[in-house]
Amino acid sequence: MPSNETTPSSPAWHALAAEAVRTSLGTEPRTGLSREEVLLRRRRHGPNSLPHRRGRSLVLVFASQFQSPLIYLLFAAAAVAFFIGERKDAAVILVVVFVNAIIGALQEGRAERSLAALRQLAGLKSRVVRSGREEVVEAGDLVPGDILVLAAGDAVGSDARLLECAQFQTAEAALTGESLPVAKDPAPLGAETVLADRRNMVYAGTHATAGRALAAVVATGQHSEIGRIAAMAESTEGKKTPLELRVAQFGRTLVIAAIVVFLGVLGLGHLQGQSFAQIFMIAISQMVSMVPEGLPVAMTIALAVGVQRMARRRAIVRRLSAVETLGSTTLICSDKTGTLTKNEMTVTAIYLPGEPLIEVGGTGYEPKGDFRQGGTVVTAERSEGLRRLLEAAVLCNDATLSAPEEGAPRWRILGDPTEGALITAAAKAGIDAAR
């Protein structure tokens, strides 16, 4: 098949008719691309992976712990103490500095390893048509022009233009923040249609919740919408946190104060007629005594405790100083779905005709929790109304509940989040959807 596809970002794919999309990409829904053409396009467009900065090595993380005016001041104090013969004081200061660096490096290194592990989780699979046959491939191997075969529960591995679909819906919360499934239609749209309203497109990072569809891949890797977002995030310049700025200011103030004390002691000693050598040693000792050797360690330990508390809430903190910034935050302007919330629905109460409210325990999609009516535990075996309601919820349901596995350590659903909540409630009552 000829390779006449354009660059991934050139056309407004949502504004083209399906036939024009196929012609532009040089592909057909029934045959897809040949293996030779796939290899050619992969060399041209690169792998279907998101850009990211390489993580810092432990050596660089350790070295970064010394980049603080306060640490510079401690090193200077240690050098002066050693010079005037106070070697024990110098050793104590150096031990404190290196202990502080080790604690900080271990904590930040653990965060770097956690992020690296997340990137190395098993890749997504995609079903495609190639050389006239359906096959399952790694999402990272997708190229522009590939024909995706999508069904309820499938993850979308790249940006694609729908060619045909039947009652097809996708969950796009991860990209647009829309908490409800979006119904799709392959009909062309206006060129100015915004991303969230492009009903004839599917995007990497989303997943299908209902129906079936055929779609032609139009953008992969950094050219996809989520790839552009990732590129912007990676290119963002890091700024010093308020804590780092205050510590730097404190260090500068301390240096100025130490110099003033040093000169003041020298001046007073000279006025009193003391020898320069004697008063110089006294002035140096006063300067060293002003340095708060324990402050860096105390700060690092306090921040490390905050990092551990965040980790228990499943938040990875890469820089210790970010904990203080987050603790001082009074207003966060953020998309809700998928950021502040998980887009996981949970059944919390059930109403049955003529009966008191039934409260349902548990959160998320893990099938753990009981049913209580007026404080008394209720089971599906003893309550016919509850059993019949949950059985109906399972029978009128297209979602699938998946147990934790390697690469996916949490319970999750494939399909509509609301239907997932219903099937989870049934599982809590011991009703198996597979039966």
- Let me know if residue 31 belongs to a domain: yes
Q: Which of 335, 370, 416, 432 is catalytic?
A: 335
Q: Which two tokens stand for residue 11?
A: 């056309």
**pTM value surpassing 0.75:** no
Please report whether residue 122 resides in a domain.
no
Assess if residue 243 is contained within a domain: no
**Over the Cα atoms of the chain, what is R_g?**
31
Residue 41 domain flag: yes
**In which residue ranges of the chain is pLDDT below 70?**
1-10, 51-56, 111-123, 233-238, 293, 314, 316, 335-340, 406-408, 434-435
Residue range(s) defining the domain that contains residue 423: 349-428
- 164 and 18 in a single domain? The answer is yes
Burial category of 204 from C-beta neighbours within 10 Å (exposed 0-12, middle 13-18, buried 19 and up) = buried
Give the separation between CA 287 and CA 258, rounded to whole angstroms: 5
In a domain, 157, yes or no: yes
**What is the number of residues in the chain?**
435
CB 364 within 8 A of CB 411: yes
Of 231, 249, 284, the domain-final residue: 231
The verdict on 168 and 27 lying in the same domain is yes
φ, ψ for residue 44, nearest 5 deg: -75, -45
Boundary (domain end) residue, out of 210, 231, 252: 231
Query: Using the 8-state DSSP alphabet, how is residue 261 labeled?
Result: H
> In DSSP terms, which residues pair with 133 in a beta bridge?
130
Residue 418 included in any domain:
yes
At 1 the pLDDT is: 41
φ, ψ at 274 (rounded to 5°): -75, 155
Placement of tokens 């059930």 in the chain: 350
How distant is the alpha carbon of residue 277 from its chain centre?
60
**pLDDT tens track for 62-113:** 887 887 777 887 888 788 778 777 788 788 888 888 888 888 787 777 766 6
In the chain, how many domains are there?
2
Indicate the residue among 194, 210, 231 that finishes a domain: 231
**Which residue from 149, 199, 192, 121 is spatially nearest to 404, judged by alpha carbons?**
121
Phi first, then psi, for residue 131 (nearest 5°) are: 55, 35
Amino acid at 95: V
Per-residue pLDDT tens digits for 231-288: 776 665 667 777 777 877 887 888 888 888 888 888 888 888 888 777 877 777 777 7
Q: Determine whether 335 is an active site residue.
A: yes
Q: What is the pLDDT of residues 405-416, one digit of tens each?
A: 765 678 888 777
Does 376 fall in a domain?
yes
Which residues, including other chains, have CB under 8 Å from residue 110's CB and lie 6 or more apart? none
Q: Is residue 397 part of a domain?
A: yes
Residue 57 CB contacts under 8 Å (≥ 6 apart), including other chains: none
> What CATH number should be reported for the domain holding residue 159?
2.70.150.10
